[in-house]
Amino acid sequence: MKKINVGLLGFGTVGTGVAKILINNKDILHARLGVDLNLKYIADIDTKTDRGIQLEPGILINDAARVIDDPEIDIIVEMIGGQGAAKEFILKAIDKGKHVVTANKALLASQGAEIVKAADKKGVELGYEASVGGCMPIIKSVRESLAGNKINSMTGILNGTCNYILSKITDDGSSFEDALAQAQAKGFAEADPTLDIEGFDTAHKLAVLNALAYGMEINLNDIYIEGISKITPLDIAFAWEFGYKVKLLAIGKYNGNSVEARVHPTMISLDNPLSNVNGSLNAVTISADATGDMMLYGHGAGMMPTGSAVVGDIADIARNIVSGSKNRIPILSYKPDAVKKIPVMPVDEIFTNYYFRFAAADRPGVLSKIAGILGKFNISISSVHQKGREIQGSVPIVMLTHTAKEADVKKALEEIQNLDVVTDKPVLIRIEE
């Protein structure tokens, strides 16, 4: 075999990065694989825009079906995104016996079970390293390097947009709106940033990671999701005073009979390695029984970092083609008959520590009223700051708690909010020690 033909669907930012690596590093890839990776076709509706890459005539076309139907194409790379045409093209490629590589985390999180089942039935490979964490080899690590481990938990910063915004607020004192505008200006955030800042993008990635780590069916619907749009510079400043930073975390924990799966702003200690992951960078910490704690760190998005992860999948599939190996590694890490339906623990059932901020009238006895209600619901206070300065006519009272149950916390905050001395809705941020 002299070459393996690749068909690329989608010539946007990441698709361009994939093409650049396949063309510019062709000799390196040949030296490592023993065959040429030949980019035979690129299909995109826009065949005119200059992407800064020189292509041979006839490579760039506007007909995806022609790429999928070509019997010489061995690997289809889907870089279109979304859940409509992308799913259709992936399933057609699989049906024709072609291996597929994608970075489409939204599609995998919501409809991945169907795609994986189709690939298993047809005996083809599905590569998706770039769907989580950009260039961080988190999927390869879980599927391969940690195959002998029982994974207990994963905690990750998996969205560069949110991390950039929180870093700007923390380090520069920017408002949320200004930090978001800067992220958009730098290309880290979309014009409509909802998927990022409200936590949905992070949840897509957590759904995929949970399936790999715990041998469970992909479950996006039951993940608790809370974004960063309500986080204020005031709370970030108070967090710093207590020795914490605020990060948007994806948290997956295996509890034996269920899995905690939640995405929300979280306070973490300044000595936690994740607290030093700033800007648009991503990181994931994994706790496993044999390895203990480990962390992966790197660029979670961008043309070349994400393109690198895609080409890594292409190279893995190429090696399997050359060696005649088939389904050497299960697509979701576990063999299909070993994948279980493990329930996701309702967020009301979790136990963690909490940060509360109350806006209260500056009167005697306010603190004792609030503390009394917390005690009524078995919530123990570990630290209290009552600031003397007024903010919009109210004094902020800030509390940290010992471990408490989420359901109890919600009941207590609802009762506290109804006190006549409390002037605004209480603020809650969970703490992971």
As given in the structure block, the two tokens for residue 130 are: 């770039």
352 is in an annotated binding site: no
Catalytic-role residue among 205, 245, 247, 253: 205
205 noted as active-site residue:
yes
Tokens of 177: 């709106």
Q: Is 344 annotated as a binding residue?
A: no
Short-list 211, 212, 20, 208, CA closest to 131: 208
**Other beta carbons within 10 Å of 348:** 13
Amino acid at 381: I
34 assigned binding-site residue: no
11 is in an annotated binding site: yes
CA-nearest of 362, 364, 382, 379 to 422 is 362
d(CA 38, CA 19): 10
Eight-state DSSP code of residue 401: E
Least Cα distance to 126 among 93, 149, 166, 161 occurs for 93
A 10 A CB-CB count for 66 gives: 13
Q: Which two tokens stand for residue 22?
A: 């396949």
Within 10 angstroms of residue 394's Cβ, the number of other Cβ atoms is 16
Q: Is beta strand 3-9 parallel, antiparallel or unpaired with respect to 75-78?
A: parallel
| Separation CA 275–CA 166 (nearest Å) | 11
Any known ligand binding at 105?
Answer: yes
Q: 15 among the known binding-site residues?
A: yes
Q: Is 302 annotated as a binding residue?
A: no
- Contact (Cβ atoms closer than 8 angstroms) between residue 380 and residue 401: yes
Q: What is the DSSP string of 412-430?
A: HHHHHHTSTTB-SPPEEEE
Closest C-alpha to 421, from 365, 356, 373: 365
In the chain, the amino acid numbered 258 is: S
104: three-class secondary structure by DSSP: coil
DSSP classification of residue 189 = S
CA 162, chain centre distance (Å): 11
Q: Is 22 known to sit in a ligand binding site?
A: no
Q: Is 190 annotated as a binding residue?
A: yes
Does the annotation flag 324 for ligand binding?
no
Q: Output the known binding site.
A: 9-16, 105, 190
Q: Output the known binding site for NADPH.
A: 105
Give catalytic residue positions. Answer: 205
Q: Output the known binding site for L-homoserine.
A: 190
Q: Output the known binding site for NADP(+).
A: 9-16
